[in-house]
Structure formats: structure tokens, C-alpha cells
């Protein structure tokens, strides 16, 4: 990786050359394999210790070093911030905004921008305080003090600067095929739903995340083919939020170009390459690489569904008839097990990691729907909105009802990241 940075530094524009990309991909692939082997060995060792009668505390102590390395594996989701951590950060941030506004004259040019950022900080505090109540942080004296410290910081900021209560009229954002809207990425909520007669997409912020790190898009081509995409920014990389949006925009634009003569798989692969180029464009030596996991479904007018995915994004076939079992069309790129069973992601799309996506073609019976949805670690495909947030897109086959979010039995599914 250091070799790639050296090669990039020698370029006038600081961009990575093909040789540098090859170096970083090889280095990242070696890291991924080493960590996957470590965690597979950890699970095997745990099973062997249990088989000889070791107690749980003995197993935990023996394997503590391997377990401590798990959050630092490439592609691993870091442990989510606790409500206490979030509120401590809120208190410091709100006090800092109060001090900045105190130092600015009422007619200072920079004041309007600081007020805007302070409003966003107050919005985040509202979210985090609700999260603290849900997790019952108040049950301990220390937790209650943290909640009160942040509440007082918000109260003091509002009391000292009443212009924060002034009504805000934001201009309508320009049209965008991606949700959440790229111009609203900094908003702490980031929830969005969009749909029409044949396609729908939904994205939700994870409860412990300050912003939505996912994206979704869909497009209906002139010939009637439909494509849906869900993208999950890999949070162990920097700028996961913008990476997901940039990848989705580039993917959408390449699909929407509707170049004649392409098969569904060729169109998806071209869109994948466009998304990878968009991730590479985000790279600078200061900001590092961006990374995403994604699932895309190309639903042709012939009824066939071509699915492409990388990472722990999932695609499901969900029959319109609730009596018919659904089918998971993808397999998690994770070891030693599925991501929902504690596995570690082993493949994703990134500027420094470029494995080939998996492709599958599925021909369902009539009157069915195909869904895509993204899940974070530990999320399940049944829930409408998981604690870690998520995105999903859905497309219905000809003759089926307009897409709705199904409530499947245990055997059914949807498409997720």
C-alpha cells in the first residue's frame, strides 16, 4: 500500500495508476485472507475447546486476542457507538458551537453557516437523546448525568442564540435519481422512500449512526427492462456516506444510457465498472479510499432476473403468492459464516480492492416480485427497518400487484445490502 502511495505521489494529479491499483488490491486481498483465516481458526478453536469440556470463561480468555482483532479487520463494521458516547460528543459539540457563535458578531459573514451547522448538531442531539431513552441509559447515575450534560448544553445553546428557532426555508434540491438526495447527505436523518407503479426503494439511517451511509436507485429503460440497486457504504473506510452515493449515481447513469446490444449481465458489469471509477475518483492521499457493498437486480421483460452483488448485500426472490417459499439469490461474501451469524465480510468494491462481482440469472414463475435490500452486520431480512439502518429496492413482475414491502414467512425474503 505504501508503494501505491509513492506511485500516486509521483503523478502530477495525485491519481493512482493501474500499477498502483494492482499493488493496493494485492495488499488488501492478502489482509482479507489473513483475517478470514484468523476468524475461521478462532471459531474452530472455540468448537474444539467446547468439545473437551472447557468452560465459557476459559474459551473467552484463550481466544481473547483473536476476538480483539475482529473489529479491525478490513471491511469489518466497527462496533456501533453507544448512546453514552454519542451524548458525550454532543455535549462537547454543542458547547463548541455556542462558543463560536458568542465570538461572532450578528452581521458576521460566517455566522449564517455556523448557525446552519449548529441546527444540524441540535438535530443530531435530538436523535441521540431518543436513542439514549430507548436504551435506558438513565438507569445508572453515570448515564443520567451524561444525558443531563448534553441536555443542558443544548438548552444553553438555544437560550444564548434564539436565531436557532427562526424558521428555515431550504431551496428544493435538484432532481436526483439516488436516494437519499446527494444535497441532503449531511442531514442527520437521511431517510427516504421513492416508488412508482413497478419499482420502489427505501433507505433508513441506522439508529446509532449520525447519518445515512446507504444509497438506492432504480431505473426503467425504454424497452421496459427495470434495474434496481442498493448500496451500503463500508463504514471501516473513510467517507462511507459519500462513497455509497457516488457509486449509485455512476451505476445509475451507466444503466440509464441504455446502450444497444448489451445483455443484462453486460449492462450490469459496465455499471459496476462505472461505479468503481467513481470510487477511485474520490481517492486522495489525505482522504483515502472509499468502499461499498451492493446488490443490483436487472429485471428483463422476458421475466428473467439477473443479479450482481459484492459483499454482504443480498438479493431475494419473493413470490407474490405468500404460500410459495421465497429464495435467497446471493450468498454473503463472508467467512467463517454469514454476516448475520457473526462472519466477517471478505469481498467488497473499493478503490483499493477490486474483486469480481458475483452474477446469477434467475427465471421466476409469473406473478412474482424481486427485491433488493441492504443489511448491516446482525440485521435480519424480516424487519422493515433494522437497528443498523438499511436500503432496499423492489421490482414486480408483469401482471403482479404494484410493489409493496412484503411481510414474508421465515422462508421468504427480500433483497438487501
pLDDT per position as a tens digit, 350-391: 988 889 999 999 887 665 555 665 544 322 222 223 335 566
Sign of the torsion formed by the C-alpha atoms of 406, 227, 330 and 185: negative
DSSP 17: P
> Considering only the top CATH level, what class is 178-396?
alpha beta
pLDDT recorded at residue 322: 79
Q: How far apart, in whole angstroms, are the C-alpha atoms of residue 17 and residue 375?
A: 33
Please state the domain extents for the chain: 2-72, 83-165, 178-396
C-alpha cell recorded at residue 57: 470463561
| Lowest-pLDDT range of 10-14, 196-200, 348-352 | 10-14
Per-residue pLDDT band at 82 (split at 50, 70, 90): confident
pLDDT above 90 coverage of the chain, percent: 32
**Is 272 within 8 Å of 253 (Cβ atoms)?**
no
Q: Decide: pTM greater than 0.95.
A: no
Say yes or no to pLDDT of 185 above 60.
yes
**Is 138 within 8 Å of 144 (Cβ atoms)?**
yes
pLDDT per position as a tens digit, 96-141: 999 999 999 988 999 989 998 999 899 889 988 988 998 899 999 9
Sign of the torsion formed by the C-alpha atoms of 85, 180, 195 and 172: positive
Q: What is the DSSP string of 165-222?
A: GS---PPPPPP-SEES-GGGTTSS---EEEE-SSEEEEEEE-TT-SS--EEEEEEE-T
Rg of the Cα atoms in the chain? 23
The burial class, CB within 10 Å (0-12 / 13-18 / 19+), for 259 is exposed
Ramachandran angles phi, psi of 311, nearest 5°: 90, -145
- Closest-CA residue to 90 (of 164, 150, 19): 150
Q: How far apart, in whole angstroms, are the C-alpha atoms of residue 335 and residue 38?
A: 10
Residue with cell 416508488: 195
Say yes or no to pLDDT of 212 above 60.
yes
- Closest-CA residue to 311 (of 75, 77, 78): 75
C-alpha cell recorded at residue 278: 467513481
Over residues 163-183, mean pLDDT: 76
pLDDT recorded at residue 413: 28
pLDDT per position as a tens digit, 283-318: 877 777 889 999 999 999 998 999 999 998 888 888
Amino acid at each position: 500500500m505504501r508503494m501505491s502511495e509513492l506511485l500516486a505521489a509521483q503523478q502530477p494529479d495525485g491519481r493512482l495508476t493501474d500499477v498502483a491499483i494492482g499493488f493496493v488490491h494485492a495488499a488488501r486481498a492478502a489482509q482479507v485472507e489473513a483475517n478470514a483465516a484468523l476468524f475461521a481458526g478462532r471459531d474452530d478453536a472455540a468448537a474444539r475447546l467446547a468439545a473437551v469440556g472447557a468452560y465459557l470463561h476459559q474459551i473467552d480468555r484463550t481466544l481473547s486476542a483473536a476476538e480483539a482483532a475482529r473489529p479491525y479487520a478490513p471491511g469489518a463494521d466497527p462496533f456501533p457507538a453507544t448512546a453514552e458516547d454519542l451524548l458525550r460528543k454532543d455535549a462537547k459539540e454543542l458547547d463548541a458551537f455556542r462558543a463560536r457563535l458568542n465570538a461572532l458578531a450578528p452581521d458576521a459573514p460566517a455566522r449564517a453557516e455556523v448557525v446552519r451547522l449548529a441546527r444540524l448538531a441540535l438535530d443530531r442531539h435530538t436523535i441521540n437523546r431518543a436513542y439514549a431513552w430507548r436504551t435506558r441509559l438513565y438507569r445508572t447515575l453515570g448515564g443520567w448525568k451524561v444525558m443531563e450534560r448534553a441536555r443542558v448544553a443544548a438548552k444553553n445553546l438555544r437560550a444564548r442564540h434564539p436565531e436557532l428557532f427562526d424558521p428555515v426555508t431550504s431551496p428544493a434540491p435538484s432532481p436526483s435519481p439516488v436516494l437519499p438526495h446527494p444535497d441532503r447527505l449531511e442531514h442527520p436523518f437521511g431517510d427516504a422512500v421513492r416508488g412508482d407503479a413497478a419499482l420502489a426503494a427505501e433507505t433508513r439511517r441506522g439508529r446509532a449512526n449520525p447519518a445515512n451511509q446507504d444509497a438506492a436507485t432504480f431505473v426503467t429503460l425504454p424497452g421496459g427492462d427495470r434495474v434496481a440497486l442498493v448500496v451500503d457504504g463500508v463504514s471501516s473506510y473513510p467517507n462511507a456516506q459519500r462513497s455509497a452515493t457516488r457509486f449509485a449515481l455512476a451505476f445509475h447513469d451507466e444503466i440509464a444510457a441504455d446502450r444497444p446490444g448489451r445483455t443484462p449481465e453486460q449492462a450490469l458489469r459496465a455499471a459496476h465498472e462505472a461505479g468503481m471509477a467513481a470510487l477511485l475518483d474520490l481517492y486522495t492521499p489525505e482522504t483515502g479510499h472509499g468502499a461499498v457493498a451492493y446488490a443490483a437486480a436487472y429485471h428483463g421483460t422476458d421475466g428473467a432476473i439477473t443479479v450482481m452483488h459484492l459483499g454482504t448485500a443480498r438479493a431475494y426472490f419473493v413470490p407474490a403468492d405468500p404460500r410459495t417459499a421465497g429464495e435467497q439469490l446471493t450468498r454473503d461474501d463472508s467467512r467463517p459464516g454469514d454476516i448475520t451469524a457473526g462472519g466477517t465480510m471478505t469481498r467488497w468494491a473499493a478503490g483499493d480492492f477490486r474483486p469480481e462481482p458475483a452474477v446469477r440469472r434467475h427465471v421466476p414463475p409469473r406473478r412474482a416480485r424481486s427485491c433488493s435490500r441492504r443489511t448491516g452486520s446482525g440485521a435480519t431480512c424480516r424487519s422493515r427497518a433494522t437497528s443498523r439502518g438499511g436500503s432496499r429496492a423492489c421490482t414486480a413482475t408483469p401482471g403482479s400487484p404494484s410493489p409493496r414491502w412484503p411481510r414474508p414467512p421465515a422462508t421468504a425474503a427480500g433483497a438487501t445490502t
